[in-house]
Amino acid sequence: MKNRIVVKWFLLISSLCLFILFGIFVGQTLFFEQYYAKNKEERLSEAIEAFTKTYWHNEENETKLQELEQTFYRENNAWITVLDHNGYIKGTKDYTIELNGIFELEDELVTYSDDNFVIPIVYLENSFEVSQQLDGLKDYENHQMEIRGVEIQEEFFPYEIILSKDEVEPTPFTRLESGIEGIIYWRNDALKAQFDDNEAYTQKGVYGTIAAVNIPEDYSHFYVTALSNSLFFERIKAFQADLLFNNNPANDNGTSIQDYEQNGIQYKLLTHSETTSNGDTLYFLTMTSLQPIDEAAEMMQEYFIYILVAVIFLILLVSLYFSKKIASPLLNINHTAKQMANLDFKERIPIKSSDEIGQLSESINILSEKLQMHIEKLQQDIEKEKQLEKTRKEFIAGVSHELKTPLSIIKSCMSILQDGVAIEKSDHYFQAMNNEVNRMDRLIVDMLELAKFESGTYKVKMDVFNIKDSIHSVCNQLSIKARDKQLHINLKLKPIDVVGNTHQIEQVMTNFLTNAIRHTPVERMIFISTEDEGNRVKISVENEGHPIDTDQLGNIWDRFYQEKKTQRSKEGTGLGLAITKNILKLHAVEYGVMNTDKGVCFYFYLPKSESSYQPINVR
């Protein structure tokens, strides 16, 4: 069996691990890149939402907005910028060229204007990594420049600039051509391509002399903003071109995602649009590269073949180990089950884990314990039945023995009365018969009470009560008997709450106090006290008088035992202390009797209730 189950577990575990390994390989090959891209999109969308909320609070603070863009790049490894409704980067219109002596050419119509013509130049740069290009423009004031573009909704968008290197005097309109020596040329290829594809728009040319080049004193921030990345800047220009020629989606608020490839690298472009209070639309453009995950995926595919052999070898070793580890407790369970089938419940399964097998082992151990416990309980029940039978026999024997004397007395009195002898003492004989009947009644009640306690089936019900109040109640009931013998009861009691059966504890006190009254000489003392001993209370009943013989101290708790049996007791049945002993045993408390300097002391203990228990500090 051992070999079979180990082989089965080995095959199962190794097959499962190999299947998982194959699943990981397939998932890594087919789905990991898509998962990474999707996760990247979600995180960027959340980051854009957070960026826009901060943007509206700092819209007028250009420095703060630049810091926000830099922080966005550091935290998300993605560029972000904000475009206005015409697709211009917010804040870049300050980079302009002013022309004067303007000639405008539109549909072969040439017009002249003395007004200055101002155009933004940012979008004609390929990138601003080489800042000298902007600085160099300042040296071309009074040079001729031709600007070609398209007018959309009464706003001019240039896509080409042709600049003469030589300073010339203003002349009538003359076209400048690119590719000629002495000519500097810039072009926005994205806007030019869109214009060439749309015949509905007409080219507009502007020719004039450079009057001024407006460039801020400090534009070093280009190195750390979106404009420092040529790829992102090209996407911005392409987005503007699509926007101007209505190739973009509708300008509803929301986020759109585009995938594109550049130089063999995948990129994600996210466009989020929101409407300002004046009705214009702002665009939050974000670009991120997927190159890291592409490189990681390629590396994993190359590396996977090397780790595959090692992982398979490791899987086989681990499978063999765990198959033996799993089979071992099952074999132990099987062995223990066989022992239980042979009614041997002593052996236990060792529990080395808390999993289902460990729980099964624990359940079998519990089952074994419970079966053994029930068998022992059955044996105890048999013993109890034997004890009950013994109790019944002892009860019958005891009652039969104890009833002989009172029945003999009653029979004798009845014979005397029937024969008419001593008629003048008839009241005496009737009283004697009445006393014997009462004695038999007490005897039967006590015997029934004792039989109940000794049966082993009686369950005592515990409650909380004040021991001082209970002792006072018992003393009040027996005060007449004490006064008849002119006895003095000295009470030293503390009002402490204890746990026990109130009625039965009062019965114990009644038996102790009755016994003390019976054996205390006239005009002597009885002392009742309670002592607080931390978590329990000691209750003592001490009476002055003759001590009990030392060799008889252990016998006084037996039924029908009466010290000095030379004279038959007229009050007791000989069962009071036997009943007391059984009550205290049911309470599982300590009890006893001892001789003292004054006489005899009976005592017992009761536990204190939690509310009244105060721990004692022992030094």
The amino acid that residue 8 corresponds to is K
Give the pair of three-digit tokens for residue 389: 């039978």
> Average pLDDT, whole number, for the chain?
76
Give the DSSP letter string of 108-169: TEEEEE-S-EEEE-GGGSS-SS-THHHHHHGGGTTEEEEEEEEEETTEEEEEEEEEEEEE--
pLDDT of the residue at 606 = 94
Given a cut of 80, whether residue 519 has pLDDT beyond it is yes
CB 148 within 8 A of CB 196: no
**pLDDT, greater one: 470 or 185:** 470
**pLDDT, greater one: 26 or 530:** 530
What pLDDT band is residue 521 in, cutting at 50, 70 and 90?
very high
The amino acid that residue 331 corresponds to is L
- For residues 377 and 457, give the distance between their C-alpha atoms in angstroms, rounded to a whole number: 13
Given a cut of 70, whether residue 125 has pLDDT beyond it is no
pLDDT of the residue at 325 = 67
Dump pLDDT digits (tens) for 79-107.
888 888 888 887 665 667 888 877 777 76
User: Which H helix or E strand runs over 614?
Assistant: none
Give the pair of three-digit tokens for residue 8: 């089965």
The amino acid that residue 327 corresponds to is A
Give the pair of three-digit tokens for residue 331: 């074999």
Among 51-65, 136-150, 265-279, 524-538, the range with the most confident prediction by mean pLDDT is 524-538
Which own/partner contact pairs does 608-611 have at CB distance under 8 Å and 24+ positions apart?
Answer: 608/496, 608/497, 608/498, 608/499, 608/532, 608/535, 608/536, 608/537, 609/464, 609/497, 609/498, 609/499, 611/464, 611/497
pLDDT of the residue at 65 = 81
- For residues 83 and 442, give the distance between their C-alpha atoms in angstroms, rounded to a whole number: 110
Region of 443 please: left (phi>0), alpha (psi -120 to 50) or beta: alpha
Give the pair of three-digit tokens for residue 361: 């082992």
Torsion 559-564-567-571 (CA) sign: negative
CB 107 within 8 A of CB 202: yes
CATH topology of domain 378-458: Helix Hairpins (1.10.287)
Residue 337 — φ and ψ, nearest 5°? -60, -40
pLDDT of the residue at 455 = 62
- For residues 387 and 458, give the distance between their C-alpha atoms in angstroms, rounded to a whole number: 13
pLDDT of the residue at 595 = 92
Residues 6+ apart with CB under 8 A from 184: 140, 162, 163, 164, 165
The amino acid that residue 230 corresponds to is S
Instruction: Specify the domain boundaries for CATH 3.30.565.10 within the chain.
Output: 460-607
Instruction: Specify the domain boundaries for CATH 1.10.287.130 within the chain.
Output: 378-458
In order of 89, 193, 277, 305, the CA distances from 242 in angstroms are 15, 10, 24, 46
**Alpha-helical regions (H) of 351-466:** 356-419, 426-454
Given a cut of 60, whether residue 1 has pLDDT beyond it is no
* 3-state secondary structure at position 482: helix
Residues 6+ apart with CB under 8 A from 109: none
The amino acid that residue 575 corresponds to is L
Given a cut of 50, whether residue 214 has pLDDT beyond it is yes
Q: Residues, the chain, total? A: 619
Cα 352 to chain centroid distance, Å, stands at 26
Given a cut of 90, whether residue 542 has pLDDT beyond it is yes
Beta strands 536-544 and 599-607 are antiparallel
What pLDDT band is residue 76 in, cutting at 50, 70 and 90?
confident
Instruction: Provide the whole-model pTM.
Output: 0.46
Residues 6+ apart with CB under 8 A from 521: 544, 545
pLDDT of the residue at 323 = 66
CB 137 within 8 A of CB 124: no
Q: DSSP secondary-structure letter at 611?
A: T
Region of 537 please: left (phi>0), alpha (psi -120 to 50) or beta: beta
Dump pLDDT digits (tens) for 311-367.
777 777 777 776 666 667 776 777 777 777 777 767 776 777 676 667 777 777 777
Give the pair of three-digit tokens for residue 611: 């509310």
Cα angle 327, 332, 338 (rounded to 5 degrees) comes to 125
**What is the spatial order of strands in the sheet that 488-492 belongs to?**
488-492, 525-532, 536-544, 599-607, 591-595
Which own/partner contact pairs does 483-486 have at CB distance under 8 Å and 24+ positions apart?
Answer: 485/517, 485/520, 485/522, 485/523, 486/522, 486/523
What pLDDT band is residue 571 in, cutting at 50, 70 and 90?
low
Nearest to 20 by CA among 299, 314, 323: 314
| Burial of 542: CB neighbours in 10 Å, binned 0-12, 13-18, 19+ | buried
Cα angle 392, 564, 604 (rounded to 5 degrees) comes to 65
Cα 309 to chain centroid distance, Å, stands at 41
What pLDDT band is residue 617 in, cutting at 50, 70 and 90?
very low
User: Which H helix or E strand runs over 3?
Assistant: helix 2-26
CB 240 within 8 A of CB 83: yes
**pLDDT, greater one: 199 or 615:** 199
The gap between the terminal CA atoms of the chain, to the nearest Å, is 64
Nearest to 141 by CA among 167, 117, 118: 167
Residue 366 — φ and ψ, nearest 5°? -65, -40
CATH topology of domain 460-607: Heat Shock Protein 90 (3.30.565)
Given a cut of 60, whether residue 431 has pLDDT beyond it is yes
**Rg of the chain in Å (alpha carbons):** 56
CB 275 within 8 A of CB 253: yes
